[in-house]
A and B are shown apart, each in its own frame.
Chain A
Amino acid sequence: MSAHSHTEGQLPHEPEKATLEGRNKILGFWLFLGAETVLFGTLFSAFLALRDQVLDGPPAHELFDLKLVAIATALLLTSSLTSVFATQALHQHKRKALINWLIVTVILGLGFLGLEIYEFTHYVHEGHGFTTSAFSSSFYTLVGFHGAHVAFGIVWICLLIGQLMKKGLTVVTAPKAYVAGIYWHFIDVVWVFIFTVVYLMGKVG
């Protein structure tokens, strides 16, 4: 054993996969993400089928503001990068850096969520309510579901930060932090499709 291979001594390399429980947790989480893909896929298919049914409401290309979407995208993409830095800190057994990167991720996520809330209230004032048309219903369901995932992720990561502060980085807490990182990336991947299919394709017409 080389004495200087790990800074904090006991923690094994890749602590999230050191125990069977940790490995099972990660595997189970991937299967959960497969189910999440199905959930979002059905919402996307409903939106794609209904996106031209605007009734009396404003059509997509009049409604959407690309600048706002671009800022939201930048926020979420950057938060995905900071969550990858958090995972990297986890692999280096740096608890402090891990917590700090998670905090940055949460702040960026909050910024994204704030923009989305602003956007939704703005749309409602433009006469684009949930029940205005098939387009508006499927739009709010799809984008709102994604926003709910972001909100859930923020709460989850906040609790995780508390636990990491209290219990430190162990083979029990490491899989949780790792899995939260994967979840956050998944949210970002879903957003890639939302800004492409909903906003950009909506803007094109």
Chain B
Amino acid sequence: MASNHSTEEQRPVRHKVEGPKKHIIGFIFSVLLTLIAFAAVAGGEINTDFIYIILIGCAILQVFVQMAFWMHMKDRGHTWAIIGILFGVFVVFTCVIMAEYWAWW
């Protein structure tokens, strides 16, 4: 049996080491989204439903930012990682909708 060396290509090795820039950008985005969320609440006097939409939108955006920039989800070879997390998210949404439905309707 020939062993499968699919991950070790024999290219001339010239790996570029990732710079901190990407991570700093991710950090700045995260801080901005957090500030927006806190400001929306601290500012007050806006319609409650509108604030909810801002809050949820900021949180979901920030999760995408962090997963892409920090957890390396964009890198190659993360298909199964994404499937694992997506399955978790699917169950989560089922639970949240179920609990809300159960409690309030």
Do residues B52 and A44 form an inter-chain contact, with CB atoms below 8 A? no
| Segment of A117-125, A147-155, A158-166, A196-204 engaged in the interface with chain B | A196-204
Taking the complex as formed, is B91 at the interface, i.e. its CB lies under 8 A from any CB of chain A?
Answer: yes
User: Which positions 74-99 of chain B face chain A at CB distance < 8 Å?
Assistant: 77-78, 80-81, 84-89, 91-93, 95-96, 98-99
Interchain pairs with CB closer than 8 A, number: 138
Q: How far is the CB of A121 from chain B (nearest CB, A)?
A: 24
Chain B residues near A81 (CB-CB < 8 A): 23-24, 27
Produce 1/0 per residue, A78-116, CB < 8 A to B. Answer: 001100110010011000000000000000000000000
Give every chain A residue within 8 A of B27 (Cβ-Cβ). 77, 80-81
> Which residue of A77, A92, A182, A189 is within 8 Å of B17 (Cβ)?
A92
What is the CB-to-nearest-CB distance from B105 to chain A, in angstroms, rounded to a whole number?
11
Q: Which residues of B contact A (CB under 8 A)?
A: 7, 13-15, 17-18, 20, 23-24, 26-27, 30-31, 34, 37-38, 40-42, 48, 51-52, 55-56, 58-59, 62-63, 66-67, 70-71, 77-78, 80-81, 84-89, 91-93, 95-96, 98-100, 102-104
- Chain A interfacial positions (CB closer than 8 Å to B): 1-2, 5, 13-14, 17, 23, 26-27, 30-31, 33-38, 40-42, 44-46, 48-50, 66, 70, 73, 77, 80-81, 84-85, 88, 91-92, 182, 185-186, 188-189, 192-193, 195-197, 200-201, 203-205
